[in-house]
Amino acid sequence: MPLTPTAPRPSLAAALAAALVAALLVLLPGSSTAQAAPVLLSQGRPATASSVEGAGTPAAAAVDGDNGTRWSSQFADPQWIQVDLGAPARLSQVVLRWETAHARAYRIELSTNGTDWTTAYSTAADPGGVQTLDITGTARHVRVYGTQRATAWGYSLWEFQVYGTTDTGPTLPGGGDLGPNVIVFDPSTPGIQARLDEVFRQQESAQFGSGRYQFLFKPGTYNGLNAQLGFYTSVSGLGLSPDDTTINGDVTVDAGWFNGNATQNFWRSAENLALNPVNGTDRWAVSQAAPFRRMHVKGGLNLSPDGYGWASGGYIADSKIDGQVGNYSQQQWYTRDSSIGGWSNGVWNQVFSGTQGAPPQGFPNPPYTTLDTTPVSREKPFLYLDGNDYKVFVPAKRVNARGTSWGNGTAPQGSSIPLSHFYVVKPGAGAATINQALAQGLHLLFTPGVYHVDRTIQVNRPGTVVLGLGLATIVPDNGVTAMKVGDVDGVRLAGFLIDAGPVNSPSLLEIGPAGTTTDHAADPTTVQDVFIRVGGAGPGRATVGMVVNNHDTIVDHTWIWRADHGDGVGWETNRSDYGFRVNGDDVLATGLFVEHFNKYDVQWNGERGRTIFFQNEKAYDAPNQAAIQNGPIKGYAAYQVADSVDVHEGWGLGSYCYYNVDPTIRQEHGFQAPVKPGVRFHDLLVVSLGGNGQYEHVINSTGAPTSGTSTVPSTIVSFP
Phi and psi at residue 423, to the nearest 5°: -85, 120
| Closest to 551 measured CA to CA, from 612, 497, 495, 485 | 485
| Closest to 421 measured CA to CA, from 176, 253, 179 | 176
Q: Which distant-in-sequence residues (6+ apart) come within 8 Å of 274 by Cβ?
A: 237, 242, 243, 245, 246, 247, 295, 296, 297, 298
- The answer to whether 278 and 302 have CB atoms below 8 angstroms apart is no
- The answer to whether 295 and 270 have CB atoms below 8 angstroms apart is yes
- The answer to whether 135 and 123 have CB atoms below 8 angstroms apart is no
CA–CA separation, 641 and 608 (whole Å)? 11
| Closest to 222 measured CA to CA, from 184, 267, 279 | 184
Look at the alpha carbons of 411, 413, 419, 425 in this order and tell me if their dihedral is positive or negative.
Answer: negative
Largest CA distance in the chain: 82
Indicate the residue type of 470: G
Return the ∠ at Cα 290 (arms to 287 and 293), rounded to 5°: 130
CA–CA separation, 571 and 580 (whole Å)? 19
Q: Which distant-in-sequence residues (6+ apart) come within 8 Å of 505 by Cβ?
A: 476, 479, 480, 481, 482, 541, 542, 543
Task: Write the burial class of residue 226 (CB in 10 Å: 0-12 exposed, 13-18 middle, 19+ buried).
Answer: middle
CA–CA separation, 52 and 70 (whole Å)? 10
- The answer to whether 658 and 692 have CB atoms below 8 angstroms apart is yes
| Closest to 467 measured CA to CA, from 435, 491, 439 | 491
CA–CA separation, 173 and 379 (whole Å)? 28
> 486 by DSSP, 3-state: which?
coil
What percent helix, strand, coil does the chain show, rounded to 5? Answer: 5, 45, 50
| Closest to 364 measured CA to CA, from 353, 348, 351, 352 | 348
> 366 by DSSP, 3-state: which?
coil
Return the ∠ at Cα 163 (arms to 158 and 169), rounded to 5°: 150
CA–CA separation, 501 and 508 (whole Å)? 10
CA–CA separation, 348 and 331 (whole Å)? 5
Q: Is 649 a catalytic residue?
A: no
CA–CA separation, 589 and 228 (whole Å)? 30
| Closest to 600 measured CA to CA, from 570, 560, 569, 572 | 560
Indicate the residue type of 718: S
Strands 609-617 and 588-595 come out as: parallel
Q: Which distant-in-sequence residues (6+ apart) come within 8 Å of 672 by Cβ?
A: 637, 639, 640, 641, 699, 700
Strands 714-719 and 679-688 come out as: antiparallel
Q: Which of 109, 617, 668, 696 is catalytic?
A: 617
- The answer to whether 292 and 268 have CB atoms below 8 angstroms apart is no
Phi and psi at residue 18, to the nearest 5°: -65, -40
**Looking at the annotation, which residues are catalytic?**
617
